Amino acid sequence: MIPWMAWRLHRRGLIGFGVGGFLISFLYGAAFTQAAGSTAESQAAFGRAVLLVAKQFAFIIPVPVHPETLGGYEQYKWLSGAIILMMIWAGLAGVGIGRGDEDRGLTDQWIAAGVSRTRLLLARSAAFGLVLLVACFASVLGIVAVAPIVHQDPNFWGEMGKALSMATGIFAGFAIALLIAQLPAERQTATALGVGALVLLLIVNGIADTIDSASWIGVVSPFHWMERTTSAAPGGTFDLGATLGLAVAGAALLGAVIPIFQRRDIGSGLFTWGRRAGAAVRVASRNLMLRMPFTEGIWEQRVGLSVWVVSTLLLGSLMVSVTKSMGDALFSDPKLAALFQGAAPGPRYAALLGIVWFGIALLLLAGYAVVQVSRWSAQDQEGRVEMLLSAPISRTRVVIERALEFAVASLLIVIGGYIGVASKVPSSGLNLDAGHVFTASALLWPFALAFGGLGVAVASRWPRIAVPFLAAFAVIEYILGDLAPLFKLPDWMANLSIFHLYGNPVVGDLSWTPAISMALVFVAGFGAALVLMKQRDVSSA
């Protein structure tokens, strides 16, 4: 039962994080000597540079250990990010198992078939745990596989230890989300609280890592205990106590879920608030947002969209405020300054802001595109498109409304980011050109549109695979953009990455080519969506 559940219910995650994890660690490993050079001296200099820059990001990603080695570099460059991505996956899986199965009627069916609640919960959790374990091991096996090619230590047992630590820590995160999912009345609230709690624990760990007087609060975060194992780097440590502690915590949290799951009603949380009292409503809403074209979609996602806009605004502001200190530290060493200028030419602080903020903004917008496509995909599969087309509106209008909805929503996020950055620049001491900051911010919009265009095309014809497709596409594009300079790929090939195409417009003269190219991707995607939507059969079944 458990292997069946693991494959049937988590196969996309398994393929994405397992196969994808292996390939990404392999690719980053293959690029190691391109980035660090092949001599011990150049690798040591590279390690020092990475260490210096990494200290500025310690809030999100832990300071690397032996980044001059393949394992240390991968632990910093890939595995730290992979842990965050997998933790979000675990959070969604925890809520999905806790409440999503109930919404889909699966829990009813299993219980009706005579499976006890305890057995069901344990079997579903074990299935996810199995998939997680495979994905974690696959993510480090790419390092082991690529090591002989780049003449580095495969560090097999160290990598295995790191994978084990990751699996236990992320499983503990899964159990936290599963526990939280039992409490609120509605699944959407459970999702927000479950995933939100894991993000909070990431922030708590970041505070503990960067503020000495608050280091004690890190003990509540699984990220803290995972960080204690650094064995992916040769010479790093495997913290057996921390790993065992995470395993015990995961099991204990799972044990705490069982009585709650047994007590509450299927389809409801442990805490249910009283239903609305008062007279029944017998008339339709007069909300203008529901009446105008495309604004219904904006209205429906108003809370989530507000979170995106405000988060982007705050993050933009935060990143501008740390760029000066980061640059001061980096540029005080002439060798590192030269190394940086070689990689990112132009005014130094502006170039650094381009990497520190606009690089992150690109990832945020690609992430938003995936979220939006997942919304369309769900609407299609749940029969919303079928119902929409039962009203006198054309398929063309459905596609146009999606495109407009995405364009407006992504523009709001871009504006939020710009306000955050522009409001902080004058007091940051960065001496940036306001026009360049505006241009770089404005170009984020066609970047988002390019992703949205592809998303709307795929979602119009193949809604079931639209999310994994766009997510995989975003990862491939990012890695291509990241590795293209290291492998010295020709421009035409590097520009296949929209991330690379965007470039670093906060420095240098404005070029219309990237903006036009990205807009063309949007137009092409949108045009394809119009054709594909017309041809397909719409069916929720």
Which chain residues interact with other proteins by CB under 8 A? 186, 188, 275-276, 278, 280-287, 290-292, 296, 300, 379, 382-384, 386-394, 535, 537-541
List of residues 6+ apart from 463 with CB closer than 8 A: 376, 377, 380, 381
| Nearer Cβ to other proteins (290/520) | 290
Residue with Cβ nearer other proteins (213 or 285): 285
Smallest distance from other proteins to CB 237, Å: 47
Distance CA 250, CA 117 (A): 18
Q: Minimum distance between the CB of residue 278 and other proteins, rounded to whole angstroms?
A: 8
Task: Give the nearest distance from C-beta 138 to other proteins in angstroms.
Answer: 34
Determine the number of helices (DSSP H) and then strands (DSSP E) in the chain: 25, 0
Residue among 16 and 184 whose Cβ is closer to other proteins: 184
User: Of 8 and 275, which CB lies nearer to other proteins in the complex structure?
Assistant: 275
Q: Name the residue nearer to other proteins (CB basis): 335 or 534.
A: 534
Residue whose C-alpha is closest to residue 98's, from 116, 114, 120: 120
- What radius of gyration, in Å, describes the C-alpha atoms of the chain? 24
State the chain's maximal CA–CA distance in angstroms. 78
Residue 156 carries which side chain, given as an amino acid letter?
A: F
Least Å distance between CB 305 and other proteins?
A: 14
Q: Annotate 286-321 with DSSP letters as a single string.
A: --GGGTSTTHHHHHHTHHHHHHHHHHHHHHHHHHHH
Least CB distance to other proteins at residue 296 (A)? 5
Closest approach of Cβ 277 to other proteins, in Å? 11
CA distance 400 to 388: 14
CB 369 within 8 A of CB 452: yes
DSSP H helical ranges for 31-116 = 32-36, 40-56, 70-74, 80-95, 101-103, 106-112
Query: What single letter denotes the amino acid at residue 375?
Result: R
Q: Which is nearer to other proteins, 199 or 292 (CB)?
A: 292
Token pair for 289? 């947002």
Burial 319-357 (b: 16+ CB within 10 A, else e): bbeebbebbeebbeeeebeebbeeebeebbbbbbbbbbb
CB of 190 to other proteins, least distance (A): 12
Query: Could you tell me the smallest distance in angstroms from the CB atom of residue 370 to other proteins?
Result: 19
| 185 vs 220, beta carbon nearer other proteins | 185
Kindly tell me which of 112 and 283 has the beta carbon lying closer to other proteins.
283
Q: Which is nearer to other proteins, 286 or 488 (CB)?
A: 286
Min dist CB 11 to other proteins, Å, is 23
- In whole angstroms, give the CA distance from residue 299 to residue 541: 27
d(CA 457, CA 527): 8
Question: Position 419: which residue type?
Answer: I
